[in-house]
Amino acid sequence: MATALPTLRRNWLVTMRAYQWTYFVGTLATGILTVGLAYLAFHAIGGGRAGGGFAAAAGTADYLGYVTVGAAASMFTVRMVLWVAKAQITEQREGTLESQVLAPARRLPYLVGVGLQALTTTVVEVVVMLAFAIMIGVRLPAPDPVTLLAAFVAASVAVFGISVPLSAIMISVGEAHITQNTLFVAMGLLCGFTFPPAYLPDPLRWLGEALPVTSALRALRAATLDHAPLSVAAPDLLLCLALGLAYLAVGLRLLGPAERIAIQRGGSA
């Protein structure tokens, strides 16, 4: 924690100084629009009922609840990935990558510090988005608190895990936007944020299962929509954790060589 907490503090100071509160309006827009548009479509087009196959594919007939949890998870994932995966390339762009790499501090606690700061910011954003959903009439059943907490932890590990190899890719190619947006598009298609992956062809479903966010999302929905006990969600939680930690291990292995490529290339990204 000798590096994580100072990095958390540093990022808080920088964030408070760099961004005005209006910046967060933009970050909330995607989640709010997703829920708002789903609400309109559900009532104006669907007449307040989901299609016949939805319940079978999604495991629930509560379309708005399904979309709201998915939108919250999507917002959480995207915001966390943006903070953690872009931490190193931001250092590169600001000219501090070399001074950071030069220090004996390890990368994992540094990224944990970035992740902890991102977590606090992102949780607030997600809570605001959920408050909007409730305000427009979406009703979520009372979740199982233990399963929800476990799913939240597993989802955090999963998102943190996939952010680290993404960070390595970003600094080694010196580019962030194409890299991050490719991942976001893939996750939006494969992970089941707004529609059940059961609608996808088998190869795409298998691909989606390789991303830990898919199993994290199933566990989150089990906790919030089905009030599932921990034992029911455990297989998804374990899969999510295993995949997240595997991505993390690969990412940490890649970061050192990626940093050297970035320093070798020199200049800013």
Partner 1 sequence: MIVTHELRKSFPAQRKLFRPAGPATDAVDGLSLSIPPGAVTGLLGLNGAGKTTTIKVLATLLRPTSGSVTVDGLDVVDHAREIRRRINLIAGGERMVYARLTGRENLWYFGQLYDVPRAVLGTRIDELLELVGLTDAAGTLVERYSRGMRQRLSIARGLINAPAYLLLDEPTLGLDAPIARDLRAVVANLARDGVGVLLTSHYLAEVEQLCGHVYVVDHGRLVAEGSPTALTAGTRLPHTVELTLAEHAPAVSAAVAALGAEFEVGVDTEERPTFLLRSPEDLAGELATAVVRAGGAIVRLEVNPPTLEDAILAMAGTPTSVAAR
Site string for partner 1, 80-99 (x = CB under 8 A): --------------xxx-xx
In the bound state with partner 1, the residue whose beta carbon lies nearer, of 95 and 145, is: 95
CA distances (Å), origin 230, targets 62, 196, 212: 21, 22, 18
Token duo for residue 18: 């760099």
- Per CB under 8 A, contacts with partner 1 among 99-128 are 99-106
Q: How far is the CB of 60 from partner 1 (least distance, A)?
A: 45
Among 28, 189, 232, 263, binds partner 1 (CB under 8 A): 263
CB 83 within 8 A of CB 121: yes
In the bound state with partner 1, the residue whose beta carbon lies nearer, of 105 and 186, is: 105
Return the DSSP state at 52.
T
In the bound state with partner 1, the residue whose beta carbon lies nearer, of 98 and 175, is: 98
In the bound state with partner 1, the residue whose beta carbon lies nearer, of 8 and 69, is: 8
Is 2 a binding residue for partner 1 by CB under 8 A? The answer is: yes
CB 92 within 8 A of CB 174: yes
- Per CB under 8 A, contacts with partner 1 among 217-256 are none
Is 40 a binding residue for partner 1 by CB under 8 A? The answer is: no
CB 179 within 8 A of CB 84: no
In the bound state with partner 1, the residue whose beta carbon lies nearer, of 20 and 264, is: 264
In the bound state with partner 1, the residue whose beta carbon lies nearer, of 2 and 44, is: 2
Is 267 a binding residue for partner 1 by CB under 8 A? The answer is: no
In the bound state with partner 1, the residue whose beta carbon lies nearer, of 57 and 263, is: 263
Task: Find the DSSP H helices in the chain.
Answer: 4-18, 23-40, 54-58, 63-85, 87-94, 97-102, 107-135, 145-173, 177-190, 202-209, 212-224, 230-265
Tell me the number of residues near partner 1 by CB under 8 A.
Answer: 25
Q: What is the DSSP string of 80-142?
A: HHHHHHTHHHHHHHHT-HHHHHHSS--HHHHHHHHHHHHHHHHHHHHHHHHHHHHHTT--PPP
In sequence order, the 6+-apart residues with CB closer than 8 A to the CB of 18 are none
Is 14 a binding residue for partner 1 by CB under 8 A? The answer is: yes
> Residue 212: what residue type?
P
Is 45 a binding residue for partner 1 by CB under 8 A? The answer is: no
Which positions touch partner 1 (CB under 8 A)? 2-3, 6-7, 9-10, 13-14, 17-18, 94-96, 98-106, 260, 263-264
